[in-house]
Amino acid sequence: MQGSQSESDADDAFPDNLKSDLTALVEDFDRCNPDGWRPIRVLKERDGERTELQCDDQGRKRIRKLFCRHDDALRQVYCTLSHIDSPYIVRIRSVEETPDGIEIIRDFVEGRTLREVIDDRGPLSDGKARTTLIEIARGVQALHSCTPSIIHRDLNPNNIVMGKQVVRIIDFGIARAKNSVMTQTSSVLGTAHYISPEQAQGKELTAASDIYSLGIVLYEAATGKLPFDGPDAVSVAMKQVNDLPA
């Protein structure tokens, strides 16, 4: 009766050329991932931006975000964010300039986005809406109080995670430091339903612009509806400028 195959026997069963290819693959992986982190899922890949979930051998998770462009203003924002120690702002672990663009490593936040919560359950209770507003506002205050201060420019429910203990702001892709130079084409950005009137008009933004967006987030969280809606982003933006809330 033939005995069971040992691990060494199984290794010998591979052809030499296949073993060589496998060894090279492992060596390439170790060389590209010297800290032991490996990608397990791509969360987003569009508009020159790639976001992936990574884990290490101990099961810890983190987010790697690559902006496929070289942008001094964006790098300045993330470098500033990396020095912010606030429970309401996701922790930025590293900011690196690579040949492919700007690489950001940040903490993975367990929880669901505020967008997912509203879509699934409807409006928050009065108490939950109040707590959520306070915690987001504290995160925004941390952004506005740092040096240089940061204007988020795109506060919306997709960028807010309802964590197990606190609410965190997690995305800063179009945020800008107050002293950064911006082009006209980059000044009108953000999600139309949440941008301030001055942002819709391409004017200079201040901390008040984020407060306006925070107000719309609270409005939707408390009512389940948006104060301004329309068939397209342009019409919604114009309602922000000209109309009263619905």
> Is the pTM above the cut of 0.85?
no
Residue pair 49/66 in contact (Cβ under 8 Å)? The answer is yes
Q: What is the pLDDT of residues 40-63, one digit of tens each?
A: 899 888 888 899 999 998 889 999
User: What's the pLDDT band for 11 if we cut at 50, 70, 90?
Assistant: very low
pLDDT of amino acid 31: 54
pLDDT at 164 over 60: yes
Q: What is the pLDDT of residues 133-153, one digit of tens each?
A: 999 999 999 999 999 999 999
Q: What is the pLDDT of residues 95-110, one digit of tens each?
A: 999 999 999 999 999 9
d(CA 18, CA 92): 40
Of 24-33, 49-58, 177-186, 191-200, the one with minimum mean pLDDT is 177-186
d(CA 213, CA 193): 9
Task: Give the torsion through C-alpha atoms of 115, 116, 120, 126, to 10 deg.
Answer: -50
pLDDT at 167 over 60: yes
pLDDT of amino acid 8: 38
Backbone angles phi, psi at 115, to 5 degrees: -60, -45
Q: Span 79-85, mean pLDDT? A: 95
pLDDT of amino acid 173: 79
pLDDT at 18 over 70: no
Q: Which residues pair with 100 in a beta bridge?
A: none
Of 71-85, 137-151, 173-187, the one with minimum mean pLDDT is 173-187
pLDDT of amino acid 190: 72
pLDDT of amino acid 143: 96
Q: List, by residue number, the catalytic residues.
A: 154
* DSSP code at position 71: -
Strands 167-169 and 49-55: unpaired
Radius of gyration of the chain (CA): 23
Q: What is the pLDDT of residues 114-132, one digit of tens each?
A: 999 999 999 999 999 999 9
DSSP 185-216: HHHS-S-TTT--HHHHTTPPP-HHHHHHHHHH
Token pair recorded at residue 246: 């619905």
Closest CA to 142 of 175, 116, 191, 95: 175
d(CA 161, CA 171): 10
